[in-house]
Amino acid sequence: MRITAILPTYNERHNIGPLVKEIHEVLSKNRIDHEIIIVDDYSPDGTWKVAERMAKRYEFVKAIVRKRERGLASAIKRGILESKGDVVVILDTDFSHPPKDFPRMLKHLNKYDMVFASRYVKGGRMIARDMKKWQHILSKLFNRYIKLVLNIPILDSTNGFFVAKKEVFKKVKLNKVFTGYGDFCFKLIYALKGKGVRMKEIPFTYKERVHGESKTVIKTVGWSYFKETLKLRMGFYN
């Protein structure tokens, strides 16, 4: 089994180097063959320069710099298309999704096709100093809303931290699924309904970013996700 870790970046200059190092150490320690693909949208802070330097230094790192295209979801799609692994790992690049959880997630792939790390199943937690209590509650309620409206098996469908067998992505139209921001995650889950894909959700502890500022604006993103959920339910993407 070979793993491809996909890292979509934008202004993550201080995080990307330590994150790549930690991913490599975790997977190497567990004797897992791997590659790391960094997809950067020509970050103003020079993240792309760091990525290119690492790609020249380490054979397991590939850097893709996009100058004409922007967006989290489309960056992940590009990583999937470029990947050579049997299994794809999707995660944020701010350390809120800890690489140490990879082995725990990967071990479930002997029974499942996708494994999602969840903040909201029993045992899951969020540790974030700057997140107000109402934001946490709103996020949890909104994920319950998505699960109910779309009738999907995953509770935390906006987190975007999961591992999946690469063959799973052949079952959907990538151009329709990987649009927008973090909504790609529940769009993917919904698109896979009825296609025999076995999904598992396990708890993890979400921590706030180490460096930099979050790109997520709660009100804007929440309204966008609300509309995208209704569009899916009404068949706009069929």
User: Where do the domains of the chain lie, and which CATH numbers do they carry?
Assistant: 2-233 (3.90.550.10)
User: Alpha carbon 95 to chain centroid distance?
Assistant: 12
Q: What is the pTM of this model?
A: 0.91
The rounded distance, in Å, linking the Cα atoms of 206 and 195 is 30
Q: 133-150 and 218-233 helices cross at what angle (nearest 10)?
A: 10
pLDDT (tens digit, 9 = 90+) per residue, 29-57? 999 999 999 999 999 999 999 999 999 99
pLDDT (tens digit, 9 = 90+) per residue, 116-163? 999 999 999 887 666 566 677 788 888 999 999 999 999 999 999 999
For the chain, the average pLDDT equals 91
What value does the mean pLDDT take over residues 177-205? 95
Using the 8-state DSSP alphabet, how is residue 124 labeled? -
Predicted local distance difference test score (pLDDT) of residue 137: 77
The rounded distance, in Å, linking the Cα atoms of 63 and 43 is 13
